[in-house]
């Protein structure tokens, strides 16, 4: 683990009032400009030949988080509220991974993974928590960044459970302004790596 001064970051820490307002208004556009601003922070991955589909990986800096939260809010969400929400979160890096079922990895396989985790840890894991069989982490120069938290939840469609979301939260001060890799280890042996150049992201 390493700590760096704010001058070593491409992304500003902490966000100034001016930058907060800028990110807030970009999010409030709810249009192509908002989508374009968030696009560099979202990677869409190809479908594997077999096994679970790691379809999307997001890495949101503090600046991108303000845009994303503002974009998710409807009428009545103010710049003052956006600033308050930012200060509540503090400066973090948010990583979110989407897992989707496939023809070769469905609810039955997910339930088997949940049972496997239950047996290894000696506790009962619900099938909805099958995502606990996946390891997600953020690394730089082969060093793992210790997260504040790791969490997840199953996702659903009209046909029932269709995958899961996993997210980890790291202290932004522990992440350098250089290449960062989100790594996902799936229970079937897949090792998915998605690189983000934090030197070019705000």
Domain boundaries, the chain: 12-197
pLDDT band at 7 (very low <50, low <70, confident <90, very high): very low
Residue from 142, 36, 149 nearest 95 by CA? 149
Peptide bond into 14 cis (omega under 30): yes
- Predicted structure pTM score: 0.92
Stretch 82-91: mean pLDDT, rounded? 94
Say what percent of the chain tops pLDDT 90.
Answer: 90
**Residue position matching structure tokens 């991108």:** 64
Rounded Cα–Cα distance for residues 31 and 15 (Å): 23
| Beta-carbon contacts of residue 181 (< 8 Å; ≥ 6 apart) | 138, 139, 140, 193, 194, 195, 196
pLDDT given at position 11 = 76
pLDDT given at position 106 = 97
Residue from 63, 67, 59 nearest 31 by CA? 67
pLDDT given at position 74 = 82
DSSP 74: -
pLDDT given at position 5 = 40
pLDDT given at position 3 = 40
pLDDT given at position 15 = 95
- For the domain covering 12-197, report its CATH number: 2.60.40.10
| Cα dihedral 52, 135, 166, 155 sign | positive
Instruction: Assess whether pLDDT exceeds 80 at residue 6.
Output: no
Residue of 108 and 9 predicted with greater confidence: 108
pLDDT given at position 4 = 40
pLDDT band at 142 (very low <50, low <70, confident <90, very high): confident
pLDDT given at position 12 = 82
pLDDT given at position 10 = 64
Phi, psi (5° rounding) for residue 175? -115, 125
pLDDT given at position 26 = 97
């Amino acid at each position: 683990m390493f700590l760096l001064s704010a001058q070593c970051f491409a992304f500003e820490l902490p966000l100034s009032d001016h930058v907060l307002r800028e990110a807030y208004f970009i999010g409030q556009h709810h249009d192509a400009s908002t989508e374009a601003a968030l696009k560099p922070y979202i990677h869409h991955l190809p479908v594997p030949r077999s096994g679970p589909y790691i379809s999307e990986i997001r890495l949101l800096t503090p600046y991108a988080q303000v845009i994303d939260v503002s974009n998710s809010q409807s009428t009545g969400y103010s710049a003052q509220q956006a600033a308050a929400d930012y200060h509540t979160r503090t400066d973090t890096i948010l990583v979110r991974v989407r897992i989707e079922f496939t023809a070769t990895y469905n609810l039955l396989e997910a339930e088997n993974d949940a049972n496997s985790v239950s047996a290894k840890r000696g506790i009962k894991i619900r099938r909805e928590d099958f995502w606990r069989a996946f390891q997600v982490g953020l690394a730089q120069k082969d060093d793992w960044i210790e997260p504040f938290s790791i969490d997840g939840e199953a996702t659903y469609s009209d046909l029932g459970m269709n995958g899961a979301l996993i997210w980890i939260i790291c202290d932004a001060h522990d992440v350098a302004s250089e290449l960062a890799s989100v790594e996902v280890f799936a229970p079937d042996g897949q090792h998915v790596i998605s690189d983000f150049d934090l030197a070019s992201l705000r």
